[in-house]
Structure 1
Amino acid sequence: MIAPFDAAPDHDATPIAFVTKSSWPAVRDALPQQAQQFAAANNYQGKPGEFLTLPAAGGSIGQVLFGLDEPGAKAADPFRAGQLPKLLPPGNYRFANAPHDLRLATLAFAFGSYKFGRYRKGKDEPPAVRLVPPIGLDQAEIDRIVAATTLARDLINTPANDMGPEQLQQAAEELAARYGAECRCVIGDELEQGFPLIHAVGMASVRAPRLIDLTWGDPDDPKVTLVGKGVCFDSGGLDLKPSSAMLIMKKDMGGAANVLALAQMIMDAKLKLRLRVLIPAVENAVGGAAMRPLDVFRSRKGMSVEIGNTDAEGRLVLADALAYADEDKPELLIDLGTLTGAARVALGPDLPPFYTSDDTLAHELARCAAAENDPLWRMPLWAPYDSWLDSKVADLNNAPSGGFAGSITCALFLQRFVEAAQHWLHVDIYGWTPKPKPGRPEGGECQAARALYKLLSERYG
C-alpha cells in the first residue's frame, strides 16, 4: 500500500465536514439553500457513519458530509473516519473541521485505505482517494505508524506458502538493513542443543525452523527486548486442528509481524534504547519427525517439558526465546503471540489480554492503549493456577488438562522462563480482524504495537 496522503494545496482538495446528529441542524442551516434541499431530499441526519456528497454548481462534488459518534457515546469509535476511503469517489480531500480526535481520525483514514494487493493486478497503483495532511499534526509520526501497520498487515496476510520461516527471516533482514541493525539466525539442527523446544516444534516441517536475532541501538542505552511468536503455519501437529480452526493459521506468526512493526517504529523514531528482537520462526507441521503427545523435551532453561498437546506449540517456542532473552537481563522484556483461543473466548478478537506483575507498567500501558485506540485489557497472573502446570514425569506440562483459564495458564507457563529481566510483559494477541470495521479491514491486524510504541516513546523518546 502507498500511504494515502497528498501534498495538494487545500483549494485543490474537496472538504470533508464532520457532523454529529446533534450538531447537524446547525451545520445544515449554515449551508446554501440548494445544499440544504439536497440534504433534505436524501434524508441526511448526521448519524454515525452516514455519508453524503453535496454537489457544486458545476456538477462536481462541492463538499462531503460525514457523521461521527456523539462525544462520550457508549460505543463511540475513534476510527469512524476510517470508513471514508471506501466511500469517497477518487480524488483529493481535506478535513474541513476537526473531528473529535484529529490524529486518530487521520490514522484511521490511512488504515482504512489499506489493501492487500500482492496477488492482484495493479497492486502498485496509488490510492485513488488521498487526504491532504491536516495542519498541526506530526506527519512524520503519522507516516511512521502507517508504514509499520502496513508491514504487520502485509506479513500476516501473506499466505503460508510465501511466508515460511525463511521469508520471515528475510523480512527481518530487510528491516535490519534499512536501519543499520544487525541480524543473525540459528537455523535447523543448530537449534537442537541451545534451543531444543524451538527445534522440537519445527522439526517435522521441510522448512527449517530458526531463531531470528536482531539488535539495534547504542549498547549503553537501556535494553528493551521484543519476542514474537513466529509460527508461520499451525496445523496443530499430531493433535491436528479441525479444518475450520486451521483456515486462518497463516496468521499464527502475528506476534512476529507485530514485533517487527514495533521495531520499525522504534528504529525509525531513533528512540534511545538498545533494541533486541527475537523471533522463533517455525512451521508446526505433521510428519514422521513431529513431536508426539507426552513426549518430553529439555528446554533452554534446563527445565523439562512434557507435551500435553502438540497444538500448544507457541508457548514452547516462546519459552526458549524468552529464556535466551532473559540471559541478557533486559530492563524491559515484552513478548507478543497469537497464543490461545481462551483469550478470544474471554475478550473477543478486538481486545487482547496482557499480563505483568508490574502495576506501574500495567497502568501506563492501559493508558497508552486507550490513547491510541489500540485496546488492551490486563488479566491476572493468578498464582494458584500455577500448580496446574505440574507434570508427573517432567518439570512442567505445556497444556494442562481441564480446559479452564487457558490464557492465564499459558502466561504462567511463560513466566517460568523469565527471572532476570527487570520488567516482563506478555500480550496474547489475535492479529486478525474477522469482520471489517472502520479503519480495520478484514484480515491481518496490527495489535498492541501502537500502544507499546507510545509507551516506549514516553520512556525512551
Structure 2
Amino acid sequence: MSAALAYTDASTTARALHVLDRTQLAAWRTTQSATVNAWIDAQGFAAGAGSLLLLPGEDGLAGAVIGIGDPLDPYSYAHAPFGLPAGDWQLASDLSADARTALQLGWGLGSYRFDRYKQPARKPARLVLPQADAEALDLLAASLQVRDLVNTPTEHMGPDELEVAVRELAATHGAQVEVVAGDALLAQNFPAIHAVGRASHRAPRLIALRWGDAAQPHVALVGKGVCFDTGGLDIKPADGMRNMKKDMGGAAHAIALARLVMARRLPVRLTLLVPAVENSIGPNAFRPGEVIATRKGVSVEIDNTDAEGRVILCDALAYAGEQSPDLLLDFATLTGAARIALGPDLPALFANNDRVANDWIAAGERMRDPVWRMPLWRPYLRYLTSGIADLANAGSRMAGAVTAALYLERFVPDGLPWAHLDVYAWNDSDRAGRPAGGEALALRSAYAMLKARYGATA
C-alpha cells in the first residue's frame, strides 16, 4: 500500500474530522447546534473507543466524529479510514503532538489492504497531513513491509525472494549483502540450516546484511526465515499447514527492523542474518531420530522435524555470536505454546539480560506495542535431553515456548546480551487497523528500545 492512499498534504474538499473520547463529548456538544445535538441523541453516540458518527449538513455530509480510547495508541484511530466515506478528511480537534503522531500512524495502519492479487472494494479515506512526521512514516513503512512479506504466498516469497528483499534494502541504504546457499552451507559450516532446507527444490541459504560504522556499537538481528513449513516428515495436519506461508514472520520482523535502523540512521553497526529455507518433504528430508551437526559443534538429535525453526536459528545465532555484538536480538514464529499462553497479540519475550528485557518492556508501554516477558527457566533443559547427542530439538509438550528459548540460548555465547521474541506475526480475523493476515508485533517497540539504548542521529 502506498502512503498516498492514506494521506494528502492539502485538500480543498476535506470534511471536518472531530476526535473525542467519552470524557470530551459533553464539552464538545456545547459548541454544536441544536440540530447536531438532536442527531447525536438520536444515534445514541457516546464517543466510545472505536465508534464513529457522521454529521449531517446542508450539502448532505458536514463532517464526522470518531470516538477513541487511549489517545497515544495508534489503533485508537485505525477504524477511521474504512469507517468514514472515501474522500479527504481534515482534523478539526486539538490534539497533542504525540497524539497527532499516533493518529498519523494509526491512520496508515488502518488504511492497509494487501492488494497484490485482489483490489480492495474501495479506497480508504485520506487524512490531510500538511506536515507529516518522518519517523512515523518510516515506522508505518516498516510495519506494512512485515504485512506484505508475510501475506505473500510462498510461491512468490521463498528463500530466493527473501534474498531479493534484503538486497533491495541494502541497495537503498548502502549496505553490503553476502549469501551462502545450497551445498556451500556445508562447506562454510552451516550444517543445521542445510539439513532443514535440503529437501526443497529451492536452495536453503543464510542471508547476511551489514551496514554502519565499525566504530559504533554492534547490533545483530536474526530472523527465522522458514518460507513454508510442512512440518517435514512429522507432517502437519491440513489446518496446521494452511497458513504456514507466515512461518517466515520472524525474518520479516528482522528485515523491517533493519530497515528502520538504517532509515533513521541509528548510530550502530548492524548485522542482519536471515536463515531462509523451506521445510519440505522429499527423499532427502531430515528425519526424526537423526543427529545433525551445528555450527557451534553441539550435536542435536531431531526429536521432531516440525521443530525446525530453532534448528536453523541455532546456526545463525552461533554465527552472530562469533562476531561479538553488543546486543543480539532474534525474532521467530517459533511455538504454538507462546500463542496458547499469551494469545495472538502479545509476543513472548525471553532475555538473558534484565536491562534489555526491561528496556523493551518500557518501550512497549511507551509505543503501545507491548511484549510480555517469559522465564528462561533453565531446569526445563531436562526436556531437551538426548541419550545420543548433546541436545534434542524437542521432546516434551511441557513449557514449549520456554524450552524453545532454552534451546536457542544454548547457542548464544555466555555474557552476550540477547533477547528472543516468539511472535505470531498474524491476525486470525479482521479488526479495525488489523486486517486478517500478516502483522507486525513489537516491531515499533523494538525500534524504540534500540533508539533509547543507542541514541539517534535522524
Report what 1:184 is aligned to: 178
CA distance in 2, matches of 1:456, 1:264: 13
Report what 2:65 is aligned to: 65
Indicate the SS of the match to 2:405: helix
CA distance in 2, matches of 1:377, 1:209: 32
The question of whether the paired residues in 1 share the 8 Å contact of 2:74 and 2:107 is answered with no
**Amino acid of the structure 2 residue aligned with 1:103:** T
Report what 2:271 is aligned to: 276
Bigger drift between 352-361 and 287-296 goes to: 352-361
Distance verdict in 2 for CA 1:260–1:57, change over 3 Å:
same
**Amino acid of the structure 2 residue aligned with 1:48:** A
2:89 to 78, 93, 96: 93
Matched, 1:414 2:414: no
**Amino acid of the structure 1 residue aligned with 2:64:** V
Indicate the SS of the match to 1:301: coil
Report what 2:227 is aligned to: 232
Residue correspondence of structure 1 range 32-71 to structure 2 within 5 A:
32-59=33-60, 61-69=61-69
Question: Normalising to structure 2: TM-score of the pair?
Answer: 0.94
CA distance in 2, matches of 1:352, 1:43: 37
The question of whether the paired residues in 1 share the 8 Å contact of 2:50 and 2:68 is answered with yes
Indicate the SS of the match to 1:308: coil
Matched, 1:217 2:212: yes
The question of whether the paired residues in 2 share the 8 Å contact of 1:104 and 1:372 is answered with no
1:292 to 266, 271, 287: 287
Indicate the SS of the match to 1:153: helix
The question of whether the paired residues in 1 share the 8 Å contact of 2:74 and 2:105 is answered with no
Distance verdict in 2 for CA 1:102–1:421, change over 3 Å:
farther
Report what 2:363 is aligned to: 368
Count of aligned pairs between the two proteins: 450
Distance verdict in 2 for CA 1:66–1:409, change over 3 Å:
same
Indicate the SS of the match to 1:63: strand
Distance verdict in 2 for CA 1:99–1:432, change over 3 Å:
farther
Report what 2:10 is aligned to: 8
Indicate the SS of the match to 2:78: helix
Report what 1:118 is aligned to: 116
**1:72-119 deviation line (CA, Å, top 9, x unaligned):** xxxx96512100111111111122224683322321111010010001
The question of whether the paired residues in 2 share the 8 Å contact of 1:205 and 1:286 is answered with yes
Shift in Å, 1:130: 1.1
Bigger drift between 92-101 and 404-413 goes to: 92-101
Residue correspondence of structure 1 range 371-390 to structure 2 within 5 A:
371-390=366-385
CA distance in 2, matches of 1:180, 1:69: 41
Distance verdict in 2 for CA 1:316–1:274, change over 3 Å:
same
Shift in Å, 1:23: 2.8
**1:365-402 deviation line (CA, Å, top 9, x unaligned):** 1010111121100011111112221100000000022x
Question: Normalising to structure 1: TM-score of the pair?
Answer: 0.94
Residue correspondence of structure 1 range 145-160 to structure 2 within 5 A:
145-160=139-154
What CA RMSD, in Å, does the superposition of the two structures yield over aligned residues? Answer: 1.9
The question of whether the paired residues in 1 share the 8 Å contact of 2:10 and 2:129 is answered with no
The question of whether the paired residues in 2 share the 8 Å contact of 1:326 and 1:420 is answered with no
Shift in Å, 1:291: 0.6
Shift in Å, 1:121: 4.6
CA distance in 2, matches of 1:448, 1:27: 35
Report what 2:165 is aligned to: 171
Matched, 1:325 2:308: no
Shift in Å, 1:53: 1.2
Report what 2:437 is aligned to: 443
**Amino acid of the structure 2 residue aligned with 1:81:** Y
**1:300-349 deviation line (CA, Å, top 9, x unaligned):** 00010000000000000000000000000000000000000000010011
Indicate the SS of the match to 1:425: strand
Query: Which structure 2 residue ranges, 5 or more long, are not aligned?
Result: none
The question of whether the paired residues in 1 share the 8 Å contact of 2:101 and 2:133 is answered with no
The question of whether the paired residues in 1 share the 8 Å contact of 2:8 and 2:130 is answered with no
CA distance in 1, matches of 2:390, 2:2: 50
The question of whether the paired residues in 2 share the 8 Å contact of 1:327 and 1:420 is answered with no
Query: Which structure 1 residue ranges, 5 or more long, are not aligned?
Result: none
Indicate the SS of the match to 1:23: helix
CA distance in 1, matches of 2:445, 2:48: 29
**1:246-286 deviation line (CA, Å, top 9, x unaligned):** 11100000000011111111101111100000000000001
Matched, 1:203 2:201: no
